[in-house]
Amino acid sequence: MMSTLELLEDHRLFGGWQQRYRHYSASLNCPMTFSIFLPEPRGAKPPPALYCLAGLTCTDENFSSKSGAQRVAQQLGILLVMPDTSPRGEGIVDDEGYDLGQGAGFYLNATQAPWNAHFRMYDYIQSELPQLIRDNFGVGERQAIMGHSMGGHGALMLALRNPGQFTSASAFAPIVNPCEVPWGQKAFRAYLGEDETQWYQYDSCNLLLRAEHQLPILIDQGDSDQFLADQLQPERLEAIASEKNFPLTLRVQPGYDHSYFFISSVVEDHLRFHAQYLFD
Ligand SMILES: N[C@@H](CCC(=O)N[C@@H](CSC=O)C(=O)NCC(=O)O)C(=O)O
C-alpha cells in the first residue's frame, strides 16, 4: 500500500528546500515524521540520497536544525533524508530512561514484547523509507548513509548488512560494538531478549569481522567525547578493518565532544567523502 505524505513544513534553505513530512509507517505500525533537504535541481539527473541517522533522544529535527549539512548538500547536489529515531506518540510503549524506548529505537527489529508491536526501525530505514522517498521525490539510484552515535551504529550496521545498497557509509562518534557496551546491552536485552546470539546481527564489529563485501567508511571521533571510553571505542572497529584490509578511515579530532558542535565542524568532510561515490 502506498503511504500518503502530509507536508508539515517547507522552507527555502541555501537555494534548496527543507521540508518535513508525516506519513503512516507499515513497518512501525504508527505515524512517523521525517525531514528532507531537496537541493535545487541541476540538469536532468535527479540527486542521489544521503540518509542521516540521529542518536539517542533525537527526532528528525536534531540533524536538520543543528548539523549545518544543507549548505554543502546544496553545493554538491545531494538530497538529505533525516528520519526519526523510533516510533513515537501516545499508545507507543516507552521507558523512563533516555536510552530505551521513544527516541532510542537502535535501528533494529524488536522481537520482545511489548517492544515488538512498533519498534521495527531496521525495516523502516532499510526498505520502507527508501521506497517512500523513491515513490515521492525525484531521486537517483545511488544512496549513502551516515549517522551520529546510536545513528552511527545504525548507519554502519545497515551498510555492512546490505552489500550494494549504499555506496559509502560514515559516522560521527558511533557505537561500533553495542554487544559490549552499556547502551547497546541495555537496548538489545530489552528489544531482542537474553539470547546474545540474536544481538550479533546488529553489531558492526561482529558484522565487519564476517564481511565479504567492501565499501568505503569514514569515522570521525572527538577525543574529548564524554562517551568515548564507556560507550564508543571506535578503535575496536578500526582494528578489525585493518586486519581485513577494509577501507575504513578513523580520524580522531582533538578537543571535540559528543555534541552537534562536533558534527557541524566535520560534516562538510563527510558530504564530500560520500560525493566521491554518489556521482560518476
Ligand atoms: N541525555 C543524555 C545524553 C543524550 C545525548 O547526548 N544524546 C546525543 C546522542 S547520544 C548517542 O546516541 C544527542 O545527539 N543529543 C541531541 C542533541 O541535540 O545534542 C545524558 O544526559 O547523558
Nearest CA to ligand 1 atom 2: 98
In the set 23, 118, 148, 258, the catalytic residue is: 258
Of the candidates 4, 132, 9, the residue with the CA atom closest to the CA atom of residue 59: 9
Q: Give distance in angstroms: CA of 141 to centre of ligand 1.
A: 33
Cell 546470539 found at = 197
Pocket flag, ligand 1, residue 66 (CB < 6 Å): yes
Q: What percent of the chain has pLDDT over 90?
A: 98
Pick the atom of ligand 1 nearest to 260's CA: 19
Beta bridge partners of 24: 31
pLDDT tens for each residue of 38-95: 999 988 999 999 999 999 999 999 999 999 999 999 999 999 999 999 999 999 999 9
Pocket flag, ligand 1, residue 57 (CB < 6 Å): yes
Is 225 among the catalytic positions? yes
Is 149 among the catalytic positions? yes
The predicted pLDDT at position 278 comes to 98
pLDDT at 1 over 50: no
The CATH superfamily label for domain 6-278 reads: Alpha/Beta hydrolase fold, catalytic domain (3.40.50.1820)
Q: Give distance in angstroms: CA of 44 to centre of ligand 1.
A: 40
Of the candidates 63, 18, 14, 8, the residue with the CA atom closest to the CA atom of residue 38: 18
Nearest CA to ligand 1 atom 7: 56
Cα separation, 216 vs 31, whole angstroms: 34
Pocket flag, ligand 1, residue 63 (CB < 6 Å): no
Pick the atom of ligand 1 nearest to 259's CA: 19
Pocket flag, ligand 1, residue 259 (CB < 6 Å): yes
Pocket flag, ligand 1, residue 77 (CB < 6 Å): no
Work out the mean pLDDT of the chain and round it to a whole number.
97
Beta bridge partners of 219: 171, 250
Task: Tell me the pTM.
Answer: 0.98
**pLDDT band for position 158 (cuts 50, 70, 90):** very high
248 phi and psi angles, rounded to 5 deg:
-115, 130
Given phi > 0 = left and psi -120 to 50 = alpha, else beta, which region is 27?
alpha
The three-class DSSP label of residue 164 is coil
Residue extents of the structural domains in the chain: 6-278
Pocket flag, ligand 1, residue 149 (CB < 6 Å): yes
Cα separation, 170 vs 189, whole angstroms: 26
